[in-house]
Amino acid sequence: MTAVYPGSFDPTTLGHLDIITRASAFADKLVVAVLNNSAKSALFTAEERVAHVKEVTSGIKNVSVESFEGLLVDFVKKQGAHCVIRGLRAVTDFEYEFQMALTNRSMKTDLETLFIPTSTQYLYLSSNIVREIARFGGNIDNMVPPQIKKYVIEKYK
């Protein structure tokens, strides 16, 4: 089974890496899909974000990384996949994720969204939180892989 794990990954966090590791353990092939949204200003370019995910997942054989624009369902079709992976943190994720899952399925009826609950230590971890803390020089050691920490600090210099 090929699964697609979409997100912004701006930057990649340990929460993302946890979901990737767990999903790649049951999917035959996991495609991490980095959203290139021209309407949203990101800290890192899509190319940088793809390179970052590639770097931190280089040890996982069945993971590949690509960027996509436009509708997720179109990207999923192009991959010949029928499964989307999403991580779930606190209840606040639920409403949005449920809406997206149902909407995507209405556009592609053979699509299933699988939710993986966060590991407890990453419950309150988001890319947004990482950016906020890093912007003010706070410690992000427990939030991102060491390579990513370097890139984030470099960006805010």
Residue 131 annotated to the active site: no
Active-site residue, 82 included = no
CA contacts within 13 A on the Cβ side of 134:
25
Phi and psi torsions of 121, nearest 5°: -70, -10
Does the annotation mark 40 as catalytic?
yes
Helical pair 46-56 and 14-26, crossing angle rounded to 10 deg:
60
Residue 22 annotated to the active site: no
Catalytic-role residue among 22, 82, 89, 149: 89
Side-chain half-sphere CA neighbours of 10 within 13 A: 18
Q: How far is the CB of 58 from ligand ADP (least distance, A)?
A: 19
Shortest distance (Å) from residue 37 CB to ligand ADP: 10
Rounded least distance, CB 46 to ligand ADP, Å: 12
| Closer of 2 and 93 to ligand ADP (Cβ) | 93
The residues of the shown chain that bind ligand ADP, judged by CB under 6 A, are 7-9, 13, 15-16, 19, 86-87, 89, 93, 118, 122, 125-128
In whole angstroms, how large is the CA radius of gyration of the chain? 15
Between residues 29 and 129, which has the closer beta carbon with respect to ligand ADP?
129
CB of 53 to ligand ADP, least distance (A): 10
Residue in 38, 40, 41, 157 annotated catalytic: 40
Smallest Cα–Cα separation from 33: which of 138, 109, 106, 104? 104
Q: How far apart are CA 94 and CA 100, in angstroms?
A: 10
Residues annotated catalytic, as ranges: 16, 40, 89, 127
